[in-house]
Amino acid sequence: MKRSFYDLNYSDLQMVLKQNDLNHTAAAILFNWHYKEKENVQCNENIAKSSLVFFQNNFNFSLPEIDTVQESNDRTVKFLFKLKDNHTIETVLIPFHNKYSICLSSQVGCAMNCSFCFTGQQGLRRNLTTSEIVGQFLQAWRWLAKNRPGEERILNIVFMGQGEPLHNFDSVKKACEIFLSKYGTSIAVRKITISTAGYIPGLKRWCREMPGVNLAFSLHSPFEEKRNELIPINKKYPLNEVLTYIDEIPVKKKQFITYEYLLIKDFNDSADDAKKVGAMLAGKSAYINLIPFNSFPGSHYERPNWDKIEKFKEVLDKFKIPTLIRIAKGEDVLAACGQLNSKAE
Confirm or reject binding of residue 164 to ligand SF4 (CB under 6 A): yes
From 197, 219, 239, 246, residue interacting with ligand SF4 (rule: CB under 6 A)? 197
From 162, 168, 185, 268, residue interacting with ligand SF4 (rule: CB under 6 A)? 162
Residues contacting residue 217 through CB under 8 Å, at least 6 positions apart: 195, 196, 198, 242, 246, 257, 258, 259, 260
Contact between residue 81 and residue 65 where contact means Cβ atoms under 8 Å apart: yes
The residue annotated as part of the active site, out of 43, 90, 114, 132, is: 90
Q: 3-class SS at 10? A: helix
Min CB(313)–ligand SF4 separation in Å: 22
* Angstrom distance (rounded) from CA 131 to CA 227: 33
Q: Which of residues 237-256 bind ligand SF4 (CB under 6 A)?
A: none
Confirm or reject binding of residue 193 to ligand SF4 (CB under 6 A): no
- Does residue 337 have an active-site annotation? yes
Choice between 139 and 168, CB closer to ligand SF4: 168
Span of 35-43, 110-118, 130-138, 171-179 interacting with ligand SF4 by CB under 6 A: 110-118
- Does residue 90 have an active-site annotation? yes
- Give the CA distances from residue 15 to residues 25, 31, 49, 116, 239, in Å, rounded to whole numbers and listed in that order: 12, 14, 18, 44, 41
Instruction: Kindly give the residue spans of alpha helices, DSSP state H, lying in the chain.
Output: 10-19, 26-31, 49-58, 130-147, 169-180, 200-209, 224-230, 239-247, 271-281, 306-318
From 8, 110, 134, 274, residue interacting with ligand SF4 (rule: CB under 6 A)? 110
Confirm or reject binding of residue 90 to ligand SF4 (CB under 6 A): no
The identity of residue 267, as a single letter, is F
**Total site size for ligand SF4, rule CB under 6 A:** 12
Choice between 106 and 131, CB closer to ligand SF4: 106
Choice between 38 and 326, CB closer to ligand SF4: 326
The residue annotated as part of the active site, out of 103, 110, 176, 337, is: 337
- Give the CA distances from residue 284 to residues 27, 57, 120, 209, 253, in Å, rounded to whole numbers and listed in that order: 42, 53, 30, 22, 12
From 119, 185, 268, 295, residue interacting with ligand SF4 (rule: CB under 6 A)? 119
Min CB(335)–ligand SF4 separation in Å: 14
DSSP string, 318-340: HTT--EEEPPPSSGGGT-STT--
Contact between residue 131 and residue 63 where contact means Cβ atoms under 8 Å apart: yes
User: Which residue numbers are catalytic?
Assistant: 90, 337
**Chain contacts with ligand SF4 (rule: CB under 6 A):** 110, 112-114, 117, 119-120, 162-164, 197, 338
